[in-house]
Structure 1
Amino acid sequence: EAEGPPRPSKPEHYVPGLEAKHFWHSSDFPLAADLEAASSVLAAEISALRSRSDGWKPVGQHTRQGDREVVEQGNWTDALIFRMGRFQEETCAWLPKTCEILRRHPEVTANPMGLALISELAPGTEVREHLGFSNARITFHLAVAVPPGEAAGIQVAGDRRSWQEGRVLVFDDSFPHAVWHRGPQGSGPRVVLLVRGWHPGVGQEER
């Protein structure tokens, strides 16, 4: 077992020996650098998608069905970009630069667990602690819209962080994690581009 913080429980799919961290440095990942470098363009694309698209669904329709069960209150919705080896071309029509960047990263696109979507938390939303499917993947959040102050946040195994617009948070969702938006109704949603790719310790022969 690689060194890392203790796990209260193991995910459904567990690969022993992988380095374990609640949060990773975004500078360790070329994908995060690409997303941050283009963040203003991506934010404009996502803003247009949010205002004009009907592709938004409650969480659990584009992801695992159990995801909807962890929403204690409020609204958690998403718009799918990539899943199960396929881009949603109608979404990519709204997000050309976003999809162009993702297509350059096989750790996402050539990954059975690869995923990309826009995730939106409405004010007053609480998502209780839950566990991701596998420790062989890493989750990236590019913050697109964040309410003022620290109204919205994420906690991974007790380690609490807030999003910063234009920056990427990188974390291991196989640890218990929760998210929330405790701002007032007029504070606007928390919007992130969520991407999942391989854990860097998963070798080519294991992919």
Structure 2
Amino acid sequence: MSQSPAAVATLADLLTRARSARDQGRPQEAAEAYARIADADPAHVEALTFLGMRALAEERAEQAIGYFRRVLAQQPEDALVLTHLGTALVAADRLAEAQQALQQAIALRSDLFIARLRLGHVLERLDDAHGALVQYFRAINEAQLQGRWLSDATTHPSMREAVKRAMLFVDAERFRLFDGAIAPLRERYGAGELARVERCLRIYLQLEEPAYADPRQRPKFLYFPGLPTQPYFPTALFPWIEGFETETAAIRDEMLAVLAADSGFEPFLTFRRPEDMSGYLAGSRGTPAWNAFFFYRHGRRYDENCRRCPHTAKVLDDLPLVRIRDHAPEICFSVLTAGSHILPHRGVTNTRVVVHLPLVVPGANQCALVAGGEAHYWREGRAMAFDDTFEHEAWNRSEATRVIVLMDAWNPYLTEAERAAVAELVAAIGDFNREAGLPDLLEA
């Protein structure tokens, strides 16, 4: 039955009074007006939501639950109200129901950092430490992406204690998780052999400040301390490089065949937005291009490409490659077109070294790499190795295409134990990053 005009007018007046009292900081007066509205219209979402929030603030959890459930009967996919319901259910110690409500809220809106914070608290109380870690971490990361929880000034006073507690939990649990990944190797090699790895982990978790031996070096992801530092490495440190160089002609022949077929190549870098490419590539002759024919990418073998270049694949498989599950090696024919310029950038970790074997280098001193401000001009068949955590850039100023083999190698100053530990550590970090919804920084 429809309401009479007088009743509608009364509700409108009550709503005006309720909003005015709410906005002017008179919550008790607002609550009384909203309660009368809810009595007259039991499905009034605004009134029920206010009353639920008021009950929650006054620690009347069960009443708050009732109000929020009435709102959800009208708006079952309201993520904010589901978050409020979850908060009230936590206050009522109904943890299983709270978990369900908060998971529903996050499924509807993954950026709701308050819902994730509450869910982390629930999971912690349910003794699911890893689940709590993931949710707390995601809550903090999402909030900070939105400019919140960066300091006391960007954190609501009512949330500060919970946020700081979550941050301490994340610090402790991430250390426990990642340190656990290398614990079997500590047993195998002895704690002393992994001392630098443990410092590396502490630096990654920002529990220790890095002490860079060279101010030009700044890894984007993982800094390993105590390694001799230079932009370029003597190739004598890599006993396998001399034999690799002898394969240049045979590798070049297979490269020229796939280049002529013009298939199997893809951009070395991919961007979510085309305009982002301008920060990485520039060109003096039309559209710049940096393409790759991958043998391995992020640790995955490109079997079809390997079949097309069987000799190259055999040579690569016999090399002491960096092998990290889901991450390394990265090996390709790297193709830089005429006039293309790879702009200055930095690599992700000094635990790896980038090796180049030039196959086609057109022009005299027209194709170069600059690392740490020091220029290197490629020479066909002469391999080179550099630390890409120094700012570096590369260009092809000739009128033809430049092609090299680009590949990862271990930093030669890492011990066998350290290489094994870094492989386990990076894989564990990658697993966590994917679970926490973060991009894999080793693939940047």
Map 1:110-129 onto structure 2 (within 5 A): 112-129=327-344
Identity %: 28
Select the structure with the greater relative contact order (CA < 8 A; seq sep ≥ 6): 1
1:60 aligned onto 2:269: yes
Q: Which moved more, 1:4-13 or 1:72-81?
A: 4-13
State the structure with more CA Rg: 2
Preserved contact between residue 214 and residue 229 of structure 2 (Cα < 8 Å): yes
Q: 2:294 aligns with which of 62, 65, 80?
A: 80
- 1:101 equivalent in structure 2: 315
In 1, the alpha carbon distance for the partners of 2:321 and 2:403 equals: 23
1:70 aligned onto 2:285: no
Preserved contact between residue 34 and residue 101 of structure 1 (Cα < 8 Å): no
Could you list the structure 1 runs, at least 4 aligned residues long, displaced by more than 6 angstroms after superposition.
Answer: none
In 1, the alpha carbon distance for the partners of 2:324 and 2:407 equals: 13
CA RMSD after TM alignment:
2.4
Q: 2:239 aligns with which of 30, 43, 47?
A: 30
Higher percent of residues as strand? 1
1:172 aligned onto 2:387: yes
TM-superposition CA deviations, 1:89-128 (whole Å, max 9, x none): 1111122121112212233345743210111111111111
What is the SS of the residue equivalent to 1:46? helix
In 1, the alpha carbon distance for the partners of 2:314 and 2:389 equals: 28
What is the letter of the counterpart of residue 130 of structure 1?
H
1:140 aligned onto 2:359: no
Higher percent of residues as helix? 2
Q: 1:200 aligns with which of 408, 412, 429?
A: 412
Preserved contact between residue 22 and residue 157 of structure 1 (Cα < 8 Å): yes
In 1, the alpha carbon distance for the partners of 2:258 and 2:239 equals: 25
What is the SS of the residue equivalent to 1:106? coil
TM-superposition CA deviations, 1:3-26 (whole Å, max 9, x none): 964325343211111121111122
Residues 142 and 8 (structure 1 numbering): CA distance in 2 closer, same or farther, change over 3 Å? closer
- 1:190 equivalent in structure 2: 402
What is the SS of the residue equivalent to 2:226? coil
Preserved contact between residue 142 and residue 165 of structure 1 (Cα < 8 Å): yes
- Mark the runs of 5 or more structure 1 residues left unpaired by the alignment: 62-66
What is the letter of the counterpart of residue 280 of structure 2?
V
Residues 110 and 13 (structure 1 numbering): CA distance in 2 closer, same or farther, change over 3 Å? closer
What is the letter of the counterpart of residue 71 of structure 1?
L
Preserved contact between residue 113 and residue 197 of structure 1 (Cα < 8 Å): no
What is the SS of the residue equivalent to 1:193? strand
In 2, the alpha carbon distance for the partners of 1:33 and 1:91 equals: 25
1:151 aligned onto 2:366: yes
Residues 78 and 113 (structure 1 numbering): CA distance in 2 closer, same or farther, change over 3 Å? same
What is the SS of the residue equivalent to 2:224? coil
TM-score (norm: length of structure 1):
0.87
In 2, the alpha carbon distance for the partners of 1:154 and 1:4 equals: 22
In 2, the alpha carbon distance for the partners of 1:115 and 1:194 equals: 8
Residues 8 and 198 (structure 1 numbering): CA distance in 2 closer, same or farther, change over 3 Å? closer
In 2, the alpha carbon distance for the partners of 1:96 and 1:145 equals: 20
In 2, the alpha carbon distance for the partners of 1:2 and 1:41 equals: 44
Corresponding residue pairs, total: 201
- 1:64 equivalent in structure 2: none
What is the letter of the counterpart of residue 96 of structure 1?
P
Q: Which moved more, 1:112-121 or 1:7-16?
A: 7-16
Alpha-carbon shift at residue 143 of structure 1 (Å): 0.3
Preserved contact between residue 219 and residue 347 of structure 2 (Cα < 8 Å): no
What is the SS of the residue equivalent to 2:338? coil
Preserved contact between residue 78 and residue 118 of structure 1 (Cα < 8 Å): yes
What is the letter of the counterpart of residue 54 of structure 1?
S
In 2, the alpha carbon distance for the partners of 1:122 and 1:24 equals: 26
- 2:250 equivalent in structure 1: 41
Map 1:2-21 onto structure 2 (within 5 A): 5-7=214-216, 9-21=218-230
- Mark the runs of 5 or more structure 2 residues left unpaired by the alignment: 1-209, 271-275, 421-444
